[in-house]
Chain A
């Protein structure tokens, strides 16, 4: 089992994270058991690993956040990880049909009510549109009606 170490500055919510390789691949020493969702990888101490916050496990074929690193005795270190399902399944996610309720790519507010939008709750502006016809008062023309 080999880990490829990375560092990334991307938000955890980013699906296709930009990864920068850190050091070289490291071999994982097996522990009593390894949880695929939240593994704790036991590796030999590698100074470069201290700069990693992300990794890829070839055996599991999954990507992981490195949440914590502990230094063990015997020049070992443990990488406490949780799976990044977004990066792991990024390719499959592209084809996933989903009902999206918020999206930056729509470009702006839509007819769907958005209570998060920073609308001033108190202020309004007034606009008006004039009609294209108006009454033309002219006493010199037949504007009076005499009723007899």
Chain B
């Protein structure tokens, strides 16, 4: 069987599989093959080009990722099916619930696909008899839920599937929620009996003429169509859902009947989602009472998620509108009393064939009766429409895809790097500096040196100190209370706020850019006017008056508080359209003592002194010292004195060692370079600077206007103008004059007249 390859990359045939990358990409490089060679035929996936794939294809059928040759024009109210696609087990089949209640289909431009059904005993029949609709963009073949059973198919018998519209409503005769066909709904009096319509959904029938059968399977993504349920309306009509005339109390209790429906009665007891304090609507949505915030809400199955987008309930669904919604699915729609009367090859007044536009998108329109056979879809036997294929052209760009809010939304995630950050004031900074500048004299004791400093230079822990022209804790996420600043394993006993966020947003305020009085014309725009925005710590940025005139101009800084780098976003109203980078943090260098180095050097110097006293006349440097020290200390000592150890005579050893002890060079280390602080002395607020033109000295604008008029472009009757008036074009057809006079009139008007 051939598949037209122009339909979004369908393969050219079942038997050969020269699949383009487009085809195989959805399947991750594997081909889904309906393998009929094995008993209990199943759909498996084989690597493209593998010998095994070729072998399987020789006996099986390629189930391609291509889709039906149409797109659905969706309605914004359709709600997705509650059930996630999954393999079913058991009898009756058990679906796996999925919280997809609040997803809406809006103008789905994506191609759709049919997938085959669940847990069939005969997979081949299931392919042909139990197709399911499926959004192509929703289809994730790598997902476990698609292992085997739910591969989309392209080859199905178009005349063996149809849709019957079903209305879900409250039946005032039975006090039950009823699901009736559209025909039954209309035949039984419509809204008179079936009040409070909850929604509609398409019931799928498969099998073909004389063999129609339905199943409980939903049509994805349209499990049901609920026009909406507004919580404020519930108290007004909720009584109808309470049985036995108890009326609606503050709460309700539901009791599930053997027929599967739930009767509700008033109750004075409030409960949780697991209890029956809810009304069950079609598609297993529930109205659930919650105390915080108080009221009735439309929730998901478990009452754990609120649905917030809904419209007024109690809409009277128009039958034509219901049929139109069904026709958007792109399948035959039957609205008659008995599905067994439906024969797509002989359509009657209740048989509707859908219409498509030139891009293959359903329109919601259709043709019923015998004329339905003359439509493109009316002639399809399978999804391959023969000459009526759609070329896969994309519909024209839909301007409704523009962001309706036109608003820049900054992400809220709080990125933090691995560094510890503390917000300090000047006093706290000085306290920390006091610690890092501890000198030998400040080391309390050798024991303390060993305990704290032998392995830790406080200055080494510090990566930088940055000053900001604002109170950092006003903008940054931080611990609620101060903690001690810890430098390695040294507690400074200085308090600071630990910061939990690296990039912050600082609002620098706004102004409104209005053209000045008397200049609300072309003079306020380029090239006659120019504007620049001075942004502290960033500089000046040229902005276009045309972009901002009449709008609010605001600035927000995005600041990396570790580096002090910033980006200033310039907003026109709610949308950021310009930016400039800068440096708002001023780096402050810190110089501190490498305390542990110093402490170790001091320790070594003491030992050297002792050793030298003991080992007078000893041999090369290092021998005596090596008796008591580790190699690292010796090296530190050498570094402390600024050079490698050198041979020295025994006679001078004593004095040299003593010199080391008494003249300990303090190892300093500087962290950070001095940042440019000039910006801190500049204006600390943004300023919009506008260069405006001025008139020539002595210019009389009024006199100019009288003599020359002002430039404009207005099309209107000349009676609406006065004074000097010059036209570029005029419609003189209503003037009864000669041709020469008409030419003279136009010439005069174009030269300028005085009305």
Contacts and interface: CB of A to CB of B under 8 A. Distances in A.
Contact of A85 (B487, B720, B741): B741
A103 B487 CA distance: 77
B555 interface: yes
B644 interface: no
A46 B690 CA distance: 67
Contacts, number: 332
Interface in A1-42: 10-11, 13-16, 36-37
A86 B755 CA distance: 10
Given A94-B718, A130-B686, A132-B511, 20 more contacts: A16-B755, A95-B719, A100-B716, A100-B727, A101-B713, A102-B710, A108-B705, A109-B522, A110-B711, A112-B522, A113-B711, A116-B704, A127-B692, A129-B511, A131-B510, A131-B555, A132-B509, A142-B496, A142-B497, A144-B588
B333 to A, nearest CB: 51
The interface centre, meaning the residue of A116, A117, A140, A142 with most chain B CB atoms within 10 A of its CB, is A142
A98 interface: yes
A96 interface: yes
Contact of B507 (A104, A119, A133, A144): A133
A113 B753 CA distance: 21
B712 A106 contact: yes
Nearest to B471: A141
A126 B695 contact: no
A113 B340 CA distance: 73
B709 A104 contact: yes
Interface string A33-61: 00011000000000000000000000000
A73 interface: no
B690 A127 contact: yes
Contacts of B428: 142, 144
A102 B708 contact: yes
B399 interface: no
B729 interface: yes
A39 to B, nearest CB: 13
A131 B468 contact: no
Given A37-B741, A145-B499, A139 B725 contact: no
A7 B513 CA distance: 54
A127 to B, nearest CB: 5
Nearest to A62: B741
A97 B716 contact: yes
A71 interface: no
19 contacts: A37-B744, A95-B718, A97-B717, A99-B728, A102-B712, A102-B726, A106-B709, A112-B711, A112-B713, A119-B695, A125-B692, A131-B508, A131-B685, A135-B536, A135-B685, A136-B469, A136-B471, A148-B421, A148-B463
Contacts of B577: none
A14 B749 CA distance: 11
A120 to B, nearest CB: 5
A112 B719 CA distance: 22
Contacts of B701: 108-109, 118
A111 B724 CA distance: 19
Given A92-B734, A143-B425, A104 B693 contact: no
B37 interface: no
Contact of A110 (B462, B497, B521, B721): B521
A143 to B, nearest CB: 5
B711 A114 contact: yes
B528 A119 contact: yes
Contacts of A145: 421-424, 465-466, 468, 472, 499, 561-562, 585
Interface of B: 419-429, 432, 461-473, 485-487, 496-497, 499, 507-513, 516, 518, 521-523, 525, 528, 536, 554-555, 561-562, 585, 588, 680, 683-697, 699, 701, 704-706, 708-732, 734-738, 740-741, 744-745, 748-749, 751-755
Interface size class of A (residues with CB under 8 A): 35 or more
Contacts of A128: 687-690
A134 B682 CA distance: 11
A129 B721 contact: no
Nearest to B563: A147
A120 B691 CA distance: 13
Contact of B710 (A110, A142, A148): A110
A138 B417 CA distance: 27
A107 interface: yes
B499 A135 contact: no
Contacts of B512: 129
Nearest to B518: A108
User: Secondary structure at chain B's binding surface: helix, strand, loop or mixed?
Assistant: mixed
A147 B724 CA distance: 72
A106 B710 contact: yes
A89 B511 contact: no
A67 to B, nearest CB: 15
Contacts of B513: 129
Given A15-B753, A15-B754, A85 B744 contact: yes
Given A142-B473, A147-B419, A109 B521 contact: yes
A60 to B, nearest CB: 11
Contacts of B471: 136, 138, 141-143
A138 B727 CA distance: 64
B472 A142 contact: yes
A131 B510 CA distance: 5
Contacts of B466: 144-145, 147
Nearest to B511: A129
The interface centre, meaning the residue of A92, A100, A113 with most chain B CB atoms within 10 A of its CB, is A100
Contacts of A111: 521-522, 525
A93 B745 contact: yes
B522 A148 contact: no
Lowest 10 A-B CB distances belong to which pairs?
Answer: A133-B509, A104-B723, A134-B685, A114-B711, A102-B709, A98-B730, A109-B521, A142-B423, A131-B509, A102-B726
B705 A136 contact: no
Contacts of A112: 522, 711-713
A119 B696 contact: yes
Contacts of A97: 715-717, 730-731
A116 B755 contact: no
A117 B754 contact: no
Contacts of A131: 508-511, 554-555, 685-688
Given A116-B708, A117-B704, A125-B694, A144 B423 contact: yes
A27 to B, nearest CB: 25
Contacts of A95: 717-719, 734
A102 B561 CA distance: 57
Contact of A118 (B699, B710, B724, B748): B699
A117 to B, nearest CB: 7
B748 A86 contact: yes
Given A99-B713, A99-B715, A105 B496 contact: no
A70 B517 CA distance: 57
Nearest to A37: B740
A135 B734 CA distance: 67
Contact of A92 (B722, B736, B748): B736
Nearest to A137: B469
A146 B695 CA distance: 55
A126 B689 contact: yes
Contacts of B699: 118
A54 B513 CA distance: 55
A148 B499 contact: no
A113 B605 CA distance: 85
